[in-house]
Structure formats: C-alpha cells, structure tokens
C-alpha cells in the first residue's frame, strides 16, 4: 500500500511512451511505403530494388532496423522524453546512423539499392519522426499546464539550496514537475511548517530522516536532493536503496545552473561519483560547423525570400521619407563593432528622439522598449509585428558578423556596462534569433534575457540551434512578445 500512490501517478508515463512508440512505427512504415510506391509503383513489390533483393523485402528490413535503431539510441528514455533537445538529437542520430550504415553495406556488398528509394525514405521518415515527437510534446505540455501527467517531486535540502530549485520548477509548469513537499535538515526549528515560493505554499514534511515517510504521504515519484553535502554519502546511499522499493527516482542537484547535460558526466574516482563539467563547445570544429550552417542557411533564405525583400523595400520607401535600410551599431564576437542591417521601421532620425521618450521607457535593464512608440511608422508597425524588419540581418550572417542563432546583438552602450559574467555573451556571434527570442521576446526582464543568452553560450549545439529556429517560426507567426 505504501508505494501505491507513486505507481498510480506513473501510469501516464507508460501510456505516453507506448503511444509515442506506436506513432514511430506508423511513421516509419508510412515513409518506407511511400518511397517504395513512388520509386517502384503499386504493383512492383517483388521488383528487385537495384540488385537482386525484392523491393518489399528491403522495405521490411529497413523498417525493422530503423525501429531497432530508435530503441538502441534510447529515444524513448523516460529521462529525456518530453523536454529538452536531447530527445530530438537521439531520433536524428538514429536515423542518420541507419542510412549511413545502409550506404556502407550497399557499397561493400554491391547490393545496388535504389538511391531514389533512400532519398525519399530518409527525409520523409526523419522529418515525420521529429514532427510527431514535437506534436506529442505539445500535447503533453498542454496536459501539464492543466495539472495532468505530472512528476510529483519531494525536495530534500536546506532552504538556501532548495528554494532556487523550487522556484525554477514552479516557473516552468510545462516541464511537468509539481513540488509536493520539502524536507530540511532541521524542520522543527523553522518558524512555520510551510514556505511560500512564487505565491505557492510548499509544506515542510520533516527532516532528512523522514524522507521515505514523506514520499509515502505525498505519493512523490521523484526525490530531488539539493544539499548532498548536508545529507552525507552514506545517508544518500541508504536513501537510494529505500527509494528503489517505492518506485521513486532520486535526482541530485549539482549546484550548477544553466549547464546542459551533454557537458556533464559522472566519473567514479576512488569510489566517489565526481561530476565532470566539460568546457563550452563553441571552439574548433564546432565553430566551423556553425559557420557553414550559417552561410548556407543565410544564402538559401535570401534566395527564397527575395520577393519578400522587394515587397517590404517598396512598402518602406513609399510609406515615409528616409532610406529603406537602417544600419544600427552593434557589438559582436570578442567585442568587435559592426553595423547591423534592418528595414527602417521608424521615422527618419528616430535615434535623436529617443532622449525625449526616455521617461516613458518600458524596456528592462539597459534596453529601450515601448509598446506604443510614436516613432514607428505604419509599415514599420506591421513589419516589426512579424519580424520582417530583421530580414536584412541575413546579409550580416552571410558576411560573418552575425549568426542565425545566438545571443541578442547588444548596443555599444550596453557592452560598456557589462560585468565579467555578462561579458561571456561576447564569446559567440550575436544571432538573428536565440533563446531570448523564443522565450518571450520583448516581454522578458533584463536579468532573464541575460540568463538565457549565457545558457545558450554555455550549452551550444547544432540540435539546439535547429530547435530554436523552429520555435522562432512559431513565435513570429503567433506574434508573441513582439512590438
């Protein structure tokens, strides 16, 4: 009976994983069937696929191997599914590996598998898998916002270490963690048996010795330890053994914020689990790869959006006096100054009028923002709403002064006031979009914008860039936080 609340609250996870697994299978089968039908036709199932192997057999084998690869790469690991970019990364890595190995086998054994078949199956299936995972995640996030399918977390630690963790979990309900209680070293000495965090009362359920009874009382599915040093190594080991019988996960906060999992690795040394934190991954080959993606992506987008460039340029010129483009001074990588290009969205000489409006500034920190800025033209209001004014920054990306994804490009006056911590934003190129753009845009506080920029710098990856670009499209279409 003691463990029943935890098992009952975990039923949603097994159902969710099963649904995602079935959708993976359906998408892979659909992608392979479509590729076969397009390449060989509806009545040619036994037609040799390039060599002597019938097309139907190749399709069946490819589907099975693809599904096995998704399991081998742990794309259904409950620790990564539903949040973060690691789930998408594993799906993409599994798909690339399958077709990479298939290409080598085809070359070695001269199977002569039709390239047109593979050229269709790979993109259809991979994009379908990623899109399906995104749809499932969106559905799960909506359910979690309605207090469904949650992980119930019991936090164990001192108030100083526990409160920041509880605040983060409360601020992000879509992540699916509900704090159900707190165990502290000396709960009896607290002035009251609950603490208020972000407007929510969190009950203090006892001391470190009462964690298991608190788990049973609350039906917690996870225990988050924020004061490992206070609990002690032997006590943590004993607690992990006790929690095994209750079907409860134990997670330990390392005390680091905004450092992603790929940079962290636990290495046992003399029987002690030491957390190794790698350096940020924006040097060497990674920087070269990012530069290639930026140049190719910017060039492709400029060609695709050429008609939009022309239409906006004509609209800006006919709407008000002044040049079509606005060149804004910005500071880039390693504090190098450059001119950032934008379509002009304000009246001519708008910068000279900023001093008169400083008293009604609505921006956070060093930023100047106004929801109803009188300097914005009619066309300017429209192109700012849909971020069309930022399209010329693609030429900055093509020229190497900016990136498609990165920290917000700062003004010189901002950089002059940066302290040592904030200055780490300048270790990478500023971006047209970034975490700041897809997490609230103009509605973010200055501190939150800085935190997101630093998080991006510390945890950069190509998969994160692709995720941000996708979220940017959604943010622009929904016009969230844009003015």
Q: Are 26 and 117 part of one and the same domain? A: yes
Q: Are 203 and 250 part of one and the same domain? A: yes
Cβ pair 211, 182 in contact under 8 A: no
Provide mean pLDDT across the span 238-257. Answer: 80
Q: Are 468 and 357 part of one and the same domain? A: yes
pLDDT tens-digit series, residues 55-85: 788 889 999 999 999 999 999 998 888 887 7
pLDDT tens-digit series, residues 391-449: 999 999 999 999 999 988 888 888 887 776 777 788 789 999 988 778 765 566 777 77
Percent of the chain past pLDDT 90, that is, above it, reads 31
Distance (Å, whole) CA 41 – CA 50? 14
pLDDT on residue 129: 96
Q: Are 204 and 110 part of one and the same domain? A: no
Cβ pair 370, 384 in contact under 8 A: no
Q: Which of 255, 276, 308 is the last residue of a domain?
A: 255
Q: Is residue 189 part of a domain?
A: yes
Q: What mean pLDDT is reported for the chain?
A: 82
Q: What angle do CA 291, 450, 328 make, to 5 degrees?
A: 60
pLDDT on residue 78: 86
Residue 83: both structure tokens together: 């949040």
Q: Are 321 and 349 part of one and the same domain? A: yes
Q: Is residue 263 part of a domain?
A: no
CB within 8 Å of 29: residues ≥ 6 apart: 63
Residue 190: both structure tokens together: 């607290």
pLDDT band with cut points at 50, 70 and 90 for residue 282: low
Write out the DSSP string of 421-453.
TGGGGGGS--EEE-HHHHTTGGGS-HHHHHHHH
pLDDT band with cut points at 50, 70 and 90 for residue 361: low
Cβ pair 249, 38 in contact under 8 A: no
Q: What are phi and psi of 251, to 5 degrees?
A: -120, 145
> Please, which residues bridge with residue 433 across strands?
405
Least confident range of 107-121, 172-186, 390-404, 424-438: 107-121
Distance (Å, whole) CA 180 – CA 13? 19
Q: What are phi and psi of 440, to 5 degrees?
A: 140, -20
Cut 0.75: pTM above it: no
Q: Are 169 and 75 part of one and the same domain? A: no
Q: Are 158 and 251 part of one and the same domain? A: yes
Q: Are 201 and 241 part of one and the same domain? A: yes
Q: What angle do CA 409, 405, 83 make, to 5 degrees?
A: 125
Q: Is residue 270 part of a domain?
A: no
Q: Is residue 275 part of a domain?
A: no
Q: For residue 195, give the 3-state DSSP assignment.
A: strand
Q: Are 88 and 173 part of one and the same domain? A: no
Q: Is residue 65 part of a domain?
A: yes
pLDDT on residue 8: 47
Q: Give long-range contacts, CB 8 A cutoff, 24+ apart: 289-297.
A: 289/462, 290/403, 290/460, 290/462, 290/465, 291/400, 293/404, 293/462, 293/465, 294/397, 294/403, 294/404, 295/397, 295/398, 295/400, 297/397, 297/404
Domain count, the chain: 3
Higher pLDDT, 2 or 182: 182
Cβ pair 462, 429 in contact under 8 A: no
Q: Are 297 and 380 part of one and the same domain? A: yes
Which helix H or strand E contains 304, and what residues bound it?
Answer: helix 284-304
Tell me, what CATH number does 198's domain have? 3.40.50.1980
Looking at the predicted structure, is the pLDDT value of residue 483 above 70? no
Least confident range of 198-212, 346-360, 361-375: 361-375
Least confident range of 87-96, 119-128, 176-185, 281-290: 281-290
Distance (Å, whole) CA 177 – CA 60? 40
Least confident range of 90-104, 209-223, 425-439: 425-439
Domain that holds residue 43: 4-145
pLDDT tens-digit series, residues 294-353: 999 999 999 999 999 999 999 999 998 889 999 989 999 888 999 999 999 988 876 666
Q: Which of 78, 113, 145 is the last residue of a domain?
A: 145
Q: Is residue 46 part of a domain?
A: yes
Distance (Å, whole) CA 449 – CA 432? 15
Q: Is residue 272 part of a domain?
A: no
Q: Which of 145, 167, 185 is the last residue of a domain?
A: 145
Q: Is residue 462 part of a domain?
A: yes
Q: Are 241 and 193 part of one and the same domain? A: yes
Q: Are 110 and 245 part of one and the same domain? A: no
pLDDT on residue 46: 66
CB within 8 Å of 254: residues ≥ 6 apart: 264, 275
Alpha-carbon distances of 65 from 31, 61, 94, 110, 277, rounded to whole Å: 14, 6, 10, 19, 35
């Amino acid at each position: 009976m003691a463990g029943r609340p935890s098992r009952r609250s975990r039923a949603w996870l097994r159902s969710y994983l099963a649904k995602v697994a079935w959708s993976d299978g359906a998408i892979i089968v659909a992608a392979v069937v479509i590729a076969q039908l397009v390449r060989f036709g509806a009545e040619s199932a036994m037609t040799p696929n390039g060599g002597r192997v019938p097309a139907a057999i190749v399709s069946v084998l490819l589907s099975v191997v693809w599904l096995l690869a998704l399991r081998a790469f742990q794309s259904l690991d409950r620790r990564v599914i539903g949040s973060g970019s690691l789930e998408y990364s594993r799906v993409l890595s599994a798909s690339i590996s399958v077709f990479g190995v298939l290409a080598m086998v085809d070359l070695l054994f001269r199977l002569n598998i039709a390239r047109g078949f593979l050229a269709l199956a790979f993109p259809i299936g991979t994009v379908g898998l990623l899109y399906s995972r995104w749809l499932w995640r969106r559905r799960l996030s909506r359910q979690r916002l309605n207090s469904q399918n949650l992980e119930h977390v019991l936090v164990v630690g001192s108030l100083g270490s526990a409160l920041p963790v509880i605040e983060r979990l409360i601020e992000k309900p879509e992540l699916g963690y509900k704090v159900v209680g707190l165990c502290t070293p000396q709960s009896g000495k607290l002035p009251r048996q609950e603490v208020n965090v972000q407007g929510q009362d969190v009950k203090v359920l006892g001391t470190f010795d009462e964690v298991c009874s608190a788990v049973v009382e609350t039906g917690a599915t996870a225990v988050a330890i924020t004061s490992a040093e206070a609990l002690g190594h032997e006590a943590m080991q004993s607690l992990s053994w006790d929690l095994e019988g209750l079907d409860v996960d134990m997670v330990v906060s390392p005390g680091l914020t905004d450092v992603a999992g790929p940079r962290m690795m636990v290495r046992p040394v003399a029987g002690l689990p030491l957390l190794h934190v790698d350096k940020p991954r924006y040097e060497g080959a990674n920087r070269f790869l990012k530069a290639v993606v930026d140049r190719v992506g910017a060039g492709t987008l400029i060609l695709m959006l050429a008609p939009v460039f022309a239409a906006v340029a004509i609209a800006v010129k006919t709407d008000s006096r002044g040049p079509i483009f606005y060149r804004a001074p910005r500071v880039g990588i390693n504090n190098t100054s450059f001119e950032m290009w934008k379509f002009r969205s304000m009246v001519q000489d708008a910068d000279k009028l900023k001093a008169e409006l400083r008293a009604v500034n609505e921006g956070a920190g060093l930023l100047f923002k106004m929801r109803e800025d009188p300097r914005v033209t009619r066309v300017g209001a429209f192109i700012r709403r849909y971020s069309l004014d930022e399209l010329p920054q693609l030429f900055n990306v093509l020229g190497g002064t900016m990136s498609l994804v990165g920290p917000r490009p700062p003004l010189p006056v901002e950089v002059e006031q940066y302290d040592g911590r904030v200055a780490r934003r300048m270790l990478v190129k500023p971006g047209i979009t970034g975490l700041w753009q897809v997490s609230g845009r103009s509605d973010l506080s200055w501190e939150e914008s800085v935190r997101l920029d630093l998080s991006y710098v510390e945890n950069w990856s190509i998969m994160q860039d692709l995720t941000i670009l996708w979220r940017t499209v959604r943010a622009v279409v929904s016009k969230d936080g844009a003015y």
